[in-house]
Structure 1
Amino acid sequence: MFLSALELRNIVESSFLPKRCQCTLSPDLSMTVKVYADGKTDQLDLLVTGINAKRLNGSREINDLIAELRSDMQNRTNAETLHPDRKAL
């Protein structure tokens, strides 16, 4: 990993603005990303755990991760819109 944990967290968290995002890194560089529905509640739009931050060695890998997270969040939103009676896991 070529960035410090603080720099990596800042990049990931700021990429989801204006939504609130919380990115945490464990000592073994396993990352958890939480994106909240809004700034007032703790309702999650996205929760991803076990991201291997060791593989984020450049801007391309970081951009790919952010794009994948955004896609996952959008797919979840679309699924809930199509099936509002379903409960997310």
Structure 2
Amino acid sequence: MFLSALELRNIIESSFLPKRCQCTLTPDLSMSIKVYADGQTDQVDLLVTGIDASTLNGCREINDLIAGLRTEIQHRAELQTLHPDRQAL
């Protein structure tokens, strides 16, 4: 990994602004990312665990991770719009 844990967390968390994002990184480089629906509530839009941060060796890998997470959030929001009575998976 070419960035410190603090730098990596800052990049990922700030990429979801204005939403609140919490990124945790364990000593074995296992990462969890939690994106909240807004800044005022604790409603979670997305929770991803078990990300291998050792594979984030450059800007491209970090960007691909963030893009994938944003796509997943958008997909879940679209499903919720189509089926408001169903719980997001």
TM range, smaller chain: over 0.9
| Count of aligned positions | 89
1:70 corresponds in structure 2 to: 70
What letter corresponds to residue 84 of structure 1 in structure 2?
P
Large movers: runs of 4+ above 2 Å: none
What letter corresponds to residue 8 of structure 2 in structure 1?
L
Query: Could you say what the CA RMSD is over the residues aligned between the two structures, in angstroms?
Result: 0.7
> Structure 2, unaligned stretches of length 5 or more?
none
1:23 corresponds in structure 2 to: 23
Measured against aligned partners, the alpha-carbon deviations of 1:20-43 in whole angstroms (never above 9, x if no partner) come to 000000111111001111111100
1:37 corresponds in structure 2 to: 37
Give the share of equivalent positions with the same residue, in percent.
Answer: 78
Shift of 1:88: 2.0
Q: Give the TM-score of the pair, scaled to structure 2.
A: 0.97
Q: Give the TM-score of the pair, scaled to structure 1.
A: 0.97
> Structure 1, unaligned stretches of length 5 or more?
none
C-alpha distance in 1 between matches for 2:37 and 2:60: 27
C-alpha distance in 1 between matches for 2:47 and 2:76: 11
